[in-house]
Structure 1
Amino acid sequence: MLKADGDILLQAAQNLASQQTKNKSSSASVGVGITLGVEGGGVSVNAGVSSGRGNSDGRDSTWTQSTVTAGNVLALQSGGDTSLRGAVGQADQILASVGGNLLLESLQDTSTYQSKQSNSGFSGSVCVTCAVPGSIAGNVGRGKMNSDYASVTQQTGLKAGDGGFLIDVGGNTTLIGSVISSSQQAVADGLNHLSTGTLRVEDIRNHAEYSASQVSVGGGFSFGGGDQSSQNAVGRDKDGNVASGGQSVPGSSVPSDKSGLAMGLPVALSASGSASSTTRSGISEGVIEIRDEAGQQALTGKSAAETIASLNRDTTDTLGALKPIFDKEKIEAEFEIGTAFAGEMGQFLANRAKELDSAKARAGDETLSPQDRIAAAKEHAALEAKWGNQGTHSQWATIIMGAAGGNVTGGVSSFVQSATAAYLQTLAAEEVKELSKALGGEGSPGHIALHALVGCAGATGQGGACAAGAAGASASVVLNQLLNGLQGKAEGAESSQSRTNLIGSLVAGIAATLDGNGASAAALATRIETENNSQYRNQGKVAKLKAGLYENLAGSCESNPDRESCYTNAFQAGDRIAAAYDRVLTLQHYPAASMTPEQMEVFTQAVLDLAPGVSSASALYELINGRSAVTDEEVSRFFAAVGVIPVVGGMIKQGSKMPSLYAKVEHAVDAGKVVQPVARVGDELAQHSSIKQALSEADEAKRLANKPKSSYGVPENLNGYADPSQIRFTQDSIANKFKNDQGLQGVVDRLKNGSISPEDFPPIRVFKKDGLVYSLDNRRLLAASQAGVPVKIVPATAEEILKESWKFTTNNQGSIICIRGICE
């Protein structure tokens, strides 16, 4: 028996541990070496300084539980309060008489850890007696970790066996994450009884959470070097840091712009995790008597009966202990791997950028043979498609880097989630580019706000902070606009990559200072916005157009008596049309209402410069807008807004008398394949296979249009020209207007009089079912059928059929069609 006239207190013993560390380092070096350059060697002076500092603070608190055990009966009697804090009383039977209040409280083990680290380094290299570029470089890094853990590992309680418990409390009974329990036999025998003035019960929430971040940025500057001033003398050292020429690993490089500014790929890594559980209070089944009804209501806001009804009576599994999840060494190892990966990826992307610029330069090098220039143009187009700002490989590299740095301890599922969110964020950023006209143009408040929204959604989808993603995306728009105004658009792949790294470094650095945990999300949002919006300049489309133009030159110029002049004129024509295409696509992103007169003049002239590369106004419309027009009126309205007028054989600027003539059909751009264009300009260009195919299809359409309907049918492979009367409808009623409000009958009339030819009419998607051919494009099918002209068909995909199937309403095998309810 434990008996006291006053209070009884049973309490756990607390164990405390703490660690506090501070570190500081610095180094400096100066060296003299021999530097070799293209124009000779010389003596170079190399210098470097670095410093680092940091601190960490950790505190742990654990409890050694107090235990009172009796073989048969444990009796507690106090004239005052009885408290068990981190203690257990256990016996076959527990008897307790408490004159005051009874408190049972479980205690949490706790652990906290905080650390901060920062480092910086600078290096320089100057060639004193030679014409090799000098360079300076610097790196700044910042990291931090935070961990907080609190969990009950041993539960306080009065724990009886088969003898049950009999407890009488004069005042209040409080259970905080604690139990009054017995065996199931005692419950069955009705041996449990608690009588108290009032009763208060609380659970304890256990938690374990950590966050860590590491951000490092680096850049440099090349200068001097005489005729070699264009060389980039900034590279990377053995640890992956940006370094000046004298201290960099031979063959390493960092993307640089034309001014000599070189920026490394910013590294922004984060790690986080959290877990939680609950230590529940409970009282085993038995009689519970709350004597002070008014006091209970005042204490808990519940009546005695409501309090008893809300109790947890299952005491078998109430501990809910939580294990620590913070592993400092593991996070540091993952950060080291992530940093190494980012360094390798930065070098890899820098090499691809150099290859892009090299291929582009060789394509325009007039000293090379025509065959070499053509090959270089094709190589440039292929590289743009993969590693340009919107190249597929480049986009996936950004997605993978973002996912890998988003939560380095998150595992495979976290990586997949982050990669998916980054992929969707990339698609959304591309759409924002297209929507910029309606938002007031690039850099407008609406444009910035929409990018912020996309950045927020992307960061949230990756498990990061919405604010960090939104800030990164919006800051990227503002910084890019600012730098474009100060330095102009970044020219070339390497310069563009340097600009992207610069913007990313600025945003990551600011984010690391304010909230390191959001730096990774901010840096990713910045890179996605820059690559898919601010730095997007149509390179892929223009490069493919130019490559197609160049590739078609080989045949005719080789046999031309004035071979050199032929190639010169052809290359110049290809460059002129490609440049015009670039200007058109760029200016399309400006709202027409906000264009300055100068911008509108440039746009108008670019449209006229494109005309010699196409065969008709409709083809020019398709090349500019990326889609074909349904009616001639649509084409006319567009060009009227631009300030040009379609005339026979070409385009003419309003108020001018000199038209810009179209190319002959066999020499024209294949506008329908704008992403894989092939083109001819001038009579000296040889026919290309795709042009021959297009001509063949056009001739076939004209031939079929002049034949009786019964003499041609539907191609077996559903690809080519077909008799529209042999294709079934999938709707029993359609509207009498197309989506652009053009009347159905007007289109029929133009097909009849030839102003719309079958080869210009958009193809119809068809599929087979039960031996019959059905159409997914019913209005176009009806127009061709009523005009009596053949229609080009293509096989519908399974996805298209499934998507359109909800519209299928015919119950007569598609042979009857109604227009606005009037059936034929």
Structure 2
Amino acid sequence: MWWLSRDVSLAAGNHVDVLAATSTDTSWRFKETKKSGLTGTGGIGFTIGSSKTSHDRREAGTTQSQSASTIGSTAGNVSITAGKQAHISGSDVIANRDISITGDSVVVDPGHDRRTVDEKFEQKKSGLTVALSGTVGSAINNAVTSAQETKESSDSRLKALQATKTALSGVQAGQAATMASATGDPNATGVSLSLTTQKSKSQQHSESDTVSGSTLNAGNNLSVVATGKNRGDNRGDIVIAGSQLKAGGNTSLDAANDILLSGAANTQKTTGRNSSSGGGVGVSIGAGKGAGISAFASVNAAKGREKGNGTEWTETTTDSGKTVTINSGRDTVLNGAQVNGNRIIADVGHDLLISSQQDTSKYDSKQTSVAAGGSFTFGSMTGSGYIAASRDKMKSRFDSVAEQTGMFAGDGGFDITVGKHTQLDGAVIASTATPDKNHLDTGTLGFSDLHNEADYKVSHSGISLSGGGSFGDKFQGNMPGGMISAGGHSGHAEGTTQAAVADGTITIRDRDNQKQNLANLSRDPAHANDSISPIFDKEKEQRRLQTVGLISDIGSQVADIARTQGELNALKAAKEATSETLPANATEKQRQEYLAKLRDTQAYRNEMAKYGTGSEIQRGIQAATAALQGLAGGNLAGALAGASAPELAHLLKSTEKDPAVNAIAHAILGGAVAAMQGNNAAAGAAGAATGELAARAIAGMLYPGVKQSDLSEEQKQTISTLATVSAGLAGGLTGNSTASAAVGAQSGKNAVENNSLSAGWNNILPSGTQDYGQAVASWNQYAQDNNLTPEQVQEGMNRIAIGEGPSWGTTYKVHPVVQAGGDVSFIRGYTLSGTIDDNHISANQGDIYSIGAHGGASIGLSFGPYFPGLINSNDNDYSINGGFGVGAVGLSTGKDGVSFTFGFGPSWGWSATEIKGVDVNGTSTSEVYRYDFK
């Protein structure tokens, strides 16, 4: 730093560099914590195990803003002369009087503060957990855990919602105890013992570059000259970036070649990834007399990623109290720069190019999670399962001019002469002088506007399906049920930064090459910059998505409470209407038979109709939940549409006599509601129609001959769940996204629960159609059991079609299945797999033609085969199998029909396979070993 009271002069035959010093710093912090022994579970219980957490943070940076160089004179002049380049970087030149900088070339640029941060978190824990189980025990656990989450929430709105969820969890726990007493369930309260493991990892990388511009500040006149006499870098050029030139008098920029005044970029970049996975297996023992032992298992996985970057420009500014003079032998370029003076005089040898720079930012993030589990109780020989999945997405984009580039003259006006072309891109030549003082003389003139725009969209979609009850210490509700949550928010803003020239004289010398009509050029620079401000707030939108998810959870809890209360009231009414009682020392089989008789009474059905699926109470809960989700997402139209959808679906039962018309009506409603909510209308329509038709098909397959009015609440929820999945698949295929799948699922669920299951379908489908479907199902089962040939099967089908067909038994063709194995091949290969279902255990192998590789083990359900003869092939069968980490799906087709399987368990890869001469029976291989349980 040089400060003198007289003149300061720096001269060098080669270079003169006035630079900021660079400070470098690095840091590394690592912390690892290991624990073992006894720990809490968050609920009522304890875990014996170990855990390890680690935090690794590495930071490095360079800083120049705190160590700028300064050359100054408090009472005189400052002169810098270089035979080659004069370079001022991140530093200041200050004079009370004049500043003169001369060189073969002159570069004035900013200093940089650059920083990178890498951060990584990892956590692993495993152990043996002892906790309360059963519907009562796990419900209590759930209430305690929910209360802990309420304490941890910092946002007042989220805390209030979490408190509501906690209160409802307490109600569910109380209902669980009442239900256990009413049904005599010996497994309602128990103790679970489970082996669990969980791990999570997150890492984030960020980079930033912040500029600190140089300053040339003269009390009187400022002169910058690039002579171009030597052959150095940028010879004859003046290059000024992200810096400020100030003069109380005149400013002169004189370059033998080019003058470039530009902005300097402040940049930020962020990338991040996170993942988690875990699971557990265990047993639960009921505390009641005659209680059974339950086995349960669960898996979960989640992953996410984010990416963001942004650029803000620091403009170059030239401010002069009197006249600014610009002379360039070739081009003068202003890109992110402002020239201000009472009068502006420019003489450009070649082109004058003036353009504005837009600040930009982009952000994109996605979080997905899936969890599934199942349990089986020995003694009652009953099982249940649940699956839940969710996805959150945020995406934003912002592009806008903050400070418009241009030449801004005062009352002295401007006099600009350009040798060839003048181009204005979202930039202006402005003046506060009278038009007679403003002159632009150029060969040709071009101009364009810049479009400023900001958009963002955030969305949450989730689905949870459950058979009710408990899975170890995890409570999923007292009754079977499902909930789809879909919500989000979006925003848009736009403006235009125009090119403009103040009123005055514009002279075009080369009229033959003038491309644009000057009548279209704005002459109003004062209002040319319609810039916009950022509209996306990441933290705010994250809280919004959390709110939508909590509202969905609360809606699901309220619906479960209503159905549970209906079940309690209905059982009470049934007991009062019948003389049968449960023996004191009843077996589990006797208890189940007793409950089945109670649920088969008219008194039970009448009472359950007030609370169950499709009832006024359930429609009200759906409407309230949809409205609150819409309002939480800031979407009033969506709130109104979601709230009205259940009632509108119920009203559409007037079309029930014609199933085609009914499906079309629901397609229209689903599409309209989706459109009002800002979602994919086609996905909504497809989901509504598919759900409506799927409900009828599923009911005919699973409960043939049962009237809708005779369906139990559990049966209704089964139909609703499967139809919702079908509707979601239809919506996803139509809209080609998981968000469209959620829209389709919600539309289908609405159509099924508030029309089919409340209005009935036995009067919708013609009786002949129902009879035919049941006969076909019976014949297919008989043909399979008796190994009939395809010709014999077809003959039976022909006889059924004309009313002569036989009917032996019924079949649902839905079986639990455990599968393990894999295949790998390109063109020709070998496959080996094993299968366990409720009928048999088998090992299978095959000579296959396939592409791909797939392997894993899973537990799930097998459907089919259905539609024998659909694929006309007596020799070959085909299959497609895929694994997605925590689960697997498979599709097989051949002469026996079409089969579909899905399950949960470790599974990866995909394969497409052709197998010769093998029957389809849930898999596509030939059996080398088989043992039948029955």
| SS of alignment partner, residue 524 of structure 2 | coil
488-497 vs 8-17, greater mean Cα deviation: 488-497
CA drift at 1:157: 0.8
Task: State the identity as a percent.
Answer: 31
| SS of alignment partner, residue 71 of structure 1 | strand
- Aligned match of 2:242: none
Taking a change above 3 Å as real, the CA distance of residues 12 and 465 of structure 1, as seen in their structure-2 partners, is same
Please tell me whether residue 311 in structure 1 is matched to residue 521 in structure 2: yes
Unaligned runs of 5+ in 1: 222-233, 236-243, 257-262, 539-582, 601-824
CA drift at 1:11: 1.3
Question: How many Å separate the matches in 1 of 2:279 and 2:689?
Answer: 39
Q: 1:535 aligns with which of 746, 757, 760?
A: 757
- Which residues of 2 match residues 306-705 of structure 1 at below 5 A? 307-308=518-519, 310-357=520-567, 359-360=569-570, 367-368=577-578, 384=609, 387=611, 391-406=615-630, 408-410=632-634, 414-415=635-636, 417-422=637-642, 425-426=645-646, 429-430=649-650, 432-435=652-655, 437=657, 441-442=658-659, 444=660, 447-488=662-703, 491-505=711-725, 507-508=727-728, 514-519=736-741, 521-537=743-759, 587=763, 589=764, 596=768
Q: Give the TM-score taking structure 2 as reference length.
A: 0.48
- Aligned match of 1:781: none
The letter of the residue matching 2:280 is S
Cα contact 1:215–1:509 (8 A) shared by 2: no
Cα contact 1:123–1:247 (8 A) shared by 2: no
Question: How many Å separate the matches in 1 of 2:436 and 2:714?
Answer: 83
| SS of alignment partner, residue 266 of structure 1 | strand
- Aligned match of 2:417: 168
- Aligned match of 1:560: none
- Aligned match of 1:157: 406
Question: How many Å separate the matches in 2 of 1:322 and 1:516?
Answer: 32
Cα contact 1:511–1:518 (8 A) shared by 2: yes
Please tell me whether residue 67 in structure 1 is matched to residue 285 in structure 2: no
Counting matched residue pairs gives: 495
| SS of alignment partner, residue 558 of structure 2 | helix
Please tell me whether residue 27 in structure 1 is matched to residue 284 in structure 2: no
| SS of alignment partner, residue 475 of structure 1 | helix
- Which residues of 2 match residues 142-291 of structure 1 at below 5 A? 142-183=391-432, 186-187=433-434, 190-220=436-466, 234-235=468-469, 244-249=470-475, 253=477, 255-256=479-480, 263-291=481-509
- What's the CA shift string for 1:349-387, capped at 9, x where partnerless? 1232234455556556674489xx9xx9899768746x5
Cα contact 1:268–1:508 (8 A) shared by 2: no
| SS of alignment partner, residue 443 of structure 2 | strand
* Structure possessing the higher relative contact order (Cα contacts under 8 Å, 6 or more residues apart): 1
Question: How many Å separate the matches in 2 of 1:204 and 1:501?
Answer: 51
Please tell me whether residue 294 in structure 1 is matched to residue 512 in structure 2: yes
- What's the CA shift string for 1:551-610, capped at 9, x where partnerless? xxxxxxxxxxxxxxxxxxxxxxxxxxxxxxxx9xx52x46xxx7749999xxxxxxxxxx
Taking a change above 3 Å as real, the CA distance of residues 139 and 527 of structure 1, as seen in their structure-2 partners, is closer
Taking a change above 3 Å as real, the CA distance of residues 106 and 208 of structure 1, as seen in their structure-2 partners, is same
| Higher strand content, 1 or 2 | 2
The letter of the residue matching 1:271 is H
CA drift at 1:106: 0.9
State the superposition RMSD in angstroms: 3.5
Cα contact 2:562–2:617 (8 A) shared by 1: no
Taking a change above 3 Å as real, the CA distance of residues 335 and 424 of structure 1, as seen in their structure-2 partners, is closer
- What's the CA shift string for 1:621-652, capped at 9, x where partnerless? xxxxxxxxxxxxxxxxxxxxxxxxxxxxxxxx
| Higher helix content, 1 or 2 | 1
- What's the CA shift string for 1:231-287, capped at 9, x where partnerless? xxx34xxxxxxxx431224xx61643xxxxxx4312223232222222222222222
Q: 2:347 aligns with which of 72, 94, 97?
A: 97
Question: How many Å separate the matches in 2 of 1:176 and 1:88?
Answer: 14
Cα contact 2:627–2:639 (8 A) shared by 1: yes
Cα contact 2:570–2:607 (8 A) shared by 1: no
CA drift at 1:317: 3.2
CA drift at 1:343: 1.6
Question: How many Å separate the matches in 2 of 1:317 and 1:190?
Answer: 21
Question: How many Å separate the matches in 2 of 1:409 and 1:114?
Answer: 19
CA drift at 1:289: 2.6
Cα contact 2:627–2:643 (8 A) shared by 1: no
- What's the CA shift string for 1:289-316, capped at 9, x where partnerless? 33333322xx23x4xxxx23x3322222
Taking a change above 3 Å as real, the CA distance of residues 133 and 595 of structure 1, as seen in their structure-2 partners, is closer
Cα contact 1:255–1:264 (8 A) shared by 2: no
Question: How many Å separate the matches in 2 of 1:519 and 1:208?
Answer: 27
Taking a change above 3 Å as real, the CA distance of residues 125 and 346 of structure 1, as seen in their structure-2 partners, is same
Cα contact 1:28–1:47 (8 A) shared by 2: yes
Taking a change above 3 Å as real, the CA distance of residues 336 and 419 of structure 1, as seen in their structure-2 partners, is closer
Question: How many Å separate the matches in 1 of 2:492 and 2:664?
Answer: 31
Q: Give the TM-score taking structure 1 as reference length.
A: 0.54
| SS of alignment partner, residue 278 of structure 2 | strand
Question: How many Å separate the matches in 2 of 1:502 and 1:400?
Answer: 24
The letter of the residue matching 1:528 is N
Q: 1:11 aligns with which of 262, 267, 270?
A: 262
CA drift at 1:158: 0.7
Question: How many Å separate the matches in 2 of 1:90 and 1:362?
Answer: 87
Cα contact 2:619–2:647 (8 A) shared by 1: no
Taking a change above 3 Å as real, the CA distance of residues 597 and 7 of structure 1, as seen in their structure-2 partners, is closer
Cα contact 2:498–2:529 (8 A) shared by 1: yes
59-68 vs 424-433, greater mean Cα deviation: 424-433
CA drift at 1:177: 1.5
Cα contact 1:356–1:380 (8 A) shared by 2: no
Unaligned runs of 5+ in 2: 1-251, 581-597, 773-934
- What's the CA shift string for 1:175-233, capped at 9, x where partnerless? 212111112xx13x631122223322222111221222233323345xxxxxxxxxxxx
Taking a change above 3 Å as real, the CA distance of residues 379 and 492 of structure 1, as seen in their structure-2 partners, is closer
| SS of alignment partner, residue 40 of structure 1 | coil
| SS of alignment partner, residue 524 of structure 1 | helix
The letter of the residue matching 2:654 is E
CA drift at 1:452: 2.6
| SS of alignment partner, residue 530 of structure 2 | coil
Taking a change above 3 Å as real, the CA distance of residues 336 and 36 of structure 1, as seen in their structure-2 partners, is farther
The letter of the residue matching 1:399 is A
Question: How many Å separate the matches in 2 of 1:149 and 1:452?
Answer: 36
Question: How many Å separate the matches in 1 of 2:755 and 2:381?
Answer: 37
| SS of alignment partner, residue 103 of structure 1 | strand
Taking a change above 3 Å as real, the CA distance of residues 482 and 105 of structure 1, as seen in their structure-2 partners, is farther
Cα contact 1:353–1:494 (8 A) shared by 2: no
Question: How many Å separate the matches in 2 of 1:134 and 1:447?
Answer: 35
Cα contact 1:214–1:268 (8 A) shared by 2: yes
Question: How many Å separate the matches in 1 of 2:670 and 2:337?
Answer: 51
